[in-house]
Structure formats: C-alpha cells, structure tokens
Structure 1
Amino acid sequence: MPAPALTDWLLDSDPALRWQVERDLLHEPPEIWRATRARIATEGFGARLLALQDDDGQWAGGAFFPKDFDVHGPEAAPGAGQPWTATTWSLNSLRGWGLDPAVPRERRTAELIAENSRWEYDGLPYWGGEVDCCINAYTLANGVWLGVDVDGLVDWLVEHRQDDGGWNCEWVNGSVRSSFHSTLNVLGALLDHEEATGGTEASRSARRAGEEYLLERGLFRRLSTGDEVGSWADTYVYPFRWRYSVLRAADHFRRSSGYDGTPPDPRMSDAIALVRAARQPDGTWIQQGRHPGRAWFEEDVPPGEPSPWLTLYGTRVLEWWDAGGPGRAGARRPSR
C-alpha cells in the first residue's frame, strides 16, 4: 500500500481515477469503490464527455476523425497530431475510465452509432470495423462494453495476426512484421472479449501468441539484436492513446495475470526495472510529454509534473510484480 501522503494525493482526484485507487491500491471492499465508480456519469471527466455527445450518438460528428477534419489541412501535417475528439476516442476514454455501460446503453449509443456513423475508410459500417488492426481492436473493445455483437471482429483479428505472433496496422501496406503498438492494442481488446464472454479457442490462442511476442522481447527489445526498440518504450505519457510503453504493457500483463491466475513472467524483469527507475523519491511518476492534437479537455497534468494517472499505473504494476502473483483476490479477479 502506498504511503498515506501519496494515497491522499491520489484520492483527491476525479472519480474515474479515484475508484481505481480504492480498488487496486487500497483494496477497499466493493461497495466503496463501486459507489465512487458510479459517480463517473455525473461528475468530472465522465460527465463532461457524456455532455459532449451528439444527438446522433457520435462525438465530433465522426467515427475516427471529427467531421470537420481536413486531411489536407494543418491538423493533418506531420507532427501536428491527430484530433482525439471523435467517436472512437471518446468511447475509449469512457470505457477506460470505468463508466458503467448501462449509462451509454440507456442513451442507445450503440444503436445510434450503428445508424449514423461510418468509417472514413470506404464509408464502412461502424461496428463492422475496417482494415486497421488498432481501429478494429478499439471497436471490438467498445462493442463488447456496449453489448454489441462484434464476434466478426474477433475472427478478423485472429485472421490478421502476423506469423511472428503479433499484429501490425501496416499489414495493408505489405508489412509482415508485428508492431509493439498494434500488438498491445489488439491484446487489450482480446482480453476484454475474454473477460466478457470467455473468448473462443482461436482468440485465446491468438492472445497467448501475441503476449508471447512481447515477452520474447522483454517488452522493449528487438529480438534480433536485443537493442531497445526506441525511446518511446520507456516514455510515459497519459492519456496513452495508441502508443506503446513498457508501463502500459506491464499493466496489460497485470490484467492478464489476474484473469488467467498466473504469476508474473520473469522475462518482464528488465521492463519492470525501467518502470521502477522512473518512480520519483516521493512515489510518483512524472508526465513525460503530451500527445499533440485537438482534445476535448486535458485529463492529466502538463509535462514535467507528477501525474496521478501514471502513478496509479506504476504503483499497481509494481505492487502486482512484487507480490509475485495475480493479487490478493486470487485467480480470475475482474480487472476492469
């Protein structure tokens, strides 16, 4: 358990973060953290984002990009950063914060999106996905959350796994090697699907293969040389968006361990050392950047300041690792 001063600092936060502190770090009984979680719909980030939903069920009038996004404009220039306000990113945020899916279901969000939202790629129907592995992973995770039949996306992701075990959104351009970023995004969605439905034999096998892809590489090394894949692997920024980091990957394995009832894999030890090294003397983790691009509002502190969100992730990852097992609640503990 974190020191009292750190705990108080983390608890003095938005309900979207506070309930996770209560559950994962303080190990409060369910009636405590569930009451806090219920406040997401009426307070703070969750309430603000729900208020921004369009009458047609979308956000910003678009599926992956806002309706007014100009592919030839300054927002599309290299380094400008894509907008993070459209439907997919807004659903990702609400789901990631832990909003009760009953709230968007009461709004008929999934049905309205099905009627009104089309992918920018070829105008394909929203819940059918498109050709990008990460986009289809988000759609799978959001569909499972909202109770949509997205089994076709599970099959699609299984079929589009690379021979080396992972995924790459650039497969459509001929890439035959997996990407750390794409692989982690898909793994999170497959785990969501398993937690909700038990998955299929093929999807469970695909998840295990994708996890093995990362574990073989220690979560941050090239298999061929052992060199670090890039400085982005141990650069920690919240919100995570689509980007990979060893912190985000370690949190996936924490979830996976809790679901599967398995101990931490020792091949993660060097990655965990990177996470531990980034912890400050006061127990916090520093926000190390900010993804450029239009956002509805800021969800965390500016770069250079102690981040409550990164501190939550870092603290619970290290607690799980140091405990050497899936957690006090035992195997198959719900992780979201």
Structure 2
Amino acid sequence: MVLQVKRNENAPPRAFHPHNSIKSIGSRLRSSFHDHKRTHRARTAARGSTHASKQGKHKRTKTSHSATLDFEVATMPQTSMDVEMVDAEPQPRTTKTYRLPKDLLRPVLPEVSIKALVDVDPELTEDLPIEYIRDYMEELGPGLLRAAVTVVANPPKDALPKEIAITVNDHSDYPPPTHMLAIHGRTTSDAPGTARRQVTLVPLHSVVLSLHCARLPKLSPSPSPPTYLSDDRTQLVVPVQPLCLPSPPTFNLLSAFLYTKRADHLLKSLLPCPPPPTLDDERAKGLPSFATHLAETYTAQALLRHINSVHGLWQNACVLGVLIDELWDMIDLAWEVLLTAMAISQGKAHLMLRRPSSTPPSDAASSSATPEPTSTASTPAP
C-alpha cells in the first residue's frame, strides 16, 4: 500500500539533526536530571506520604459471600420499518440477567525496568531513576497529549501498513508522537472469515505507554531523530504498532489518563454525570447519596452502559499492567458507585450499602475472607 504524502518540492525524506529538531523526551530528561535532584526528592517524598495515607483511608474489606451481584435489565425491542405501522403489533420487552463481580481485583505487577525504557527511547540512559522519569513526565504529559491529539493522518483503506505519514498541527516545542497504535479487539469465533476487523488508529508517545505498563508488548523501533517530511517539522513518518485489547473503545480514556494523571477527569468520564468534588474523600457519606441520585435520574440501560465502560477500562488496565494506583482507585470508586446505583434502582440497596457496625472486622478475618488477587484471576486472557 502506498501512502500519498505531499512534500516540499518533491524532496526525499530526510532526518533532521538534533540541534535543528524539537528537543526529544530523552534529551530533556538527561539535561534536567542533575538540576532537579533535590526538587525531585522533596516532591517524591511528599507524594509518597500523601498517597500512603490515601490508600489506607480508602481501603475496603472485600468479602467472599457476596462476590457477584445479579441485575435484570430490560432490553429494548427492535421496531421494524413497516409501512403499515398501524397494523404492527407491539413487541414485548424482554429482560436479561447480568451477573457482575462486586469488586474488580487488582493484578500483582512487576516494576518497569529502565532497560525497557531505553529500548523504546535510546536517548534515555540507565542511570536515570524510574521515579524521576515519572515525576518529570507528569509535568511534560499534558503538552505531549496536546501534540498527539492534533495529529492528522490518512487512514489506510485496504491493509495496515508498517508505517504511516502524519501531520502534527501543534506549534509548541513538544516532540511529536513516536508511534501510531492500531487498536483492535479479539476476533470472535462466530465472525465470518471474510469479516473486516475494525481498527482504530491512535497516535502516542512510546515512553508514556512503556513507563506505566508492565505488560506492554514490545514496540517496533521508531526513527531517532524522527524522519521529517517537511522543513517546518509538521510532517513525519512513524511506525504502525498493532495492539490487541479486550476493550478498544475505552483505550482513549486510558491513554489520556497516562498523559495527564488527572484522576478527577477520568472519574467524570466513567460516570453519567459529574460526581461531587468530595466524593473520593468522603466516600462513606457521599457515595450513597450520589448513587441514589443516579438511580433516580438514569435508566438501568444507561447505568449498564457506564458499567460496561468501567469494566472495559479495567480489562485494558489488567492486560497492559498499568502501574498507577490512582487509576485503580478511580476504577474501584466508579464501579462501586454504579453498582450501588443499579442496586438501589432495583430495590437491592442492601447488597451494596452496609449498615455501620460497632465492631469493625479484624485484619485476620478480612485477609482470610478474600485471597490476594493474582494475574490469572484478575487479568483477562490475552
């Protein structure tokens, strides 16, 4: 397949020299490492103490006697486009039972190695601490996301190419995406052999994905420095990387979070309406009230759509092995809110809302009730 790319005066592609190009992520990290050592230590220590207190505050006991919940949701009948609508007989509604896990388990994941990052960005060096890279990328992430979302490309029509020409419409000094991910789902057994697989192209910086995903498949190498097709550095060629995920529609939610780390934005995207600002901090008090509001405002079908979205995001996070606790916290919170709302709407509030007990369960009892999640139990099969 040949991609038609407009070039300046039909000039062949050429690689810009580093001093003429936008500064890469690796070179930014190396040049700033020594200047930010003290600041990094202070910020990392502060973040660690805050995160530890948050984790302890929101830790919930998971019991084995109510591992799943059953909900009945009415399916909307399909109306046929009959000319004689007056004579058409109304089709009865049917209900479908959905069995949902009460808790979405977190997989036990290994840490990402610095060698894996050097493999995707050779300008990184193995003396850079992983935590420092994450700290620096948290500042760089929003700008990188702006560069990624402005990308325009002509999608292939027949077959997936190994590389693709893109145009970056961001005029800031952030480096362009390094890869074009070709996101697709698994082929179902009942799909015909000639059926076309739906593929979504997503431009992305390889370091952002590799830094936070312990189970990410090996990415194809990208040119360093980038192979630009125009003197203004707006057109370049990047490799196409196929990536099979359980839930392709929810990958954009995950990728945006990996760039920005905005847990509040992610939570809003997972729920039918914006939650109270203090929901995460005052869960015991605010969650029942907010869930009741959702149950009284939205249909079971609408709640189920959001439940499916949260579950799809959880599946993708398990398969990729995302190492960000805040992501799992928001998945847990959104899942609890939506299941509580569904339970309230069907008169089963007692399945999710527990009455306060004067005697809290002991640590020994809670640890024996629920086994530690394992990769086999909590990760969808690849």
Q: Normalising TM by the smaller chain, what interval? A: under 0.3
Larger RCO: Structure 1 or Structure 2 (Cα < 8 Å, ≥ 6 residues apart)? 2
Q: Which has the higher strand share?
A: 2
Report the TM-score when normalising by structure 2: 0.24
The structure that has the greater radius of gyration is: 2
Report the TM-score when normalising by structure 1: 0.26
